[in-house]
Amino acid sequence: LWRRKKRRTMLTLPALESSQLDEQAQLESEIEVYRWTGQNDLCQLLSNDKLAVGGGTISDSDGNGFGFVVDKDIMKGSSSPCVTYDNPCLVSCSSSDQIHNNNEDTDNSS
């Protein structure tokens, strides 16, 4: 699993100047990588209703134990800490929040 170290700005491309595009590209190139811990084999799950990466609930965390999971329509998903990759929640939200795809922007709402 991976995530960007710094959050993407919400400026639209026409509003960005050339120097800002260079700065944005630099910010987005910095990532944190969470490698397989070897503690379980729950690397990927594909079923009729979801696609999930990572598994295993960490004892003192909330959430479903999936490092990242999206529904069958790729319209909703969530992230939580998991044993497989020893990762934190990969998005800026609480574990009870879901990520919704509005076909325009990602909205973190509960």
Report the alpha-carbon distance of residue 8 to residue 94 in Å, rounded: 18
* Residue 104's pLDDT band (cuts 50, 70, 90): very low
Task: Give tens-digit pLDDT for 18-74.
Answer: 667 677 777 677 788 999 999 999 999 999 999 999 998 876 666 668 999 999 998
Is 104 or 43 the better-scoring residue by pLDDT?
A: 43
Mean pLDDT of 4-28: 64
C-alpha distances out from residue 36 to 27, 53, 84, 101, 105, Å: 25, 11, 6, 28, 30
Kind and range of the H or E element at 106?
strand 106-109
Report the alpha-carbon distance of residue 104 to residue 106 in Å, rounded: 7
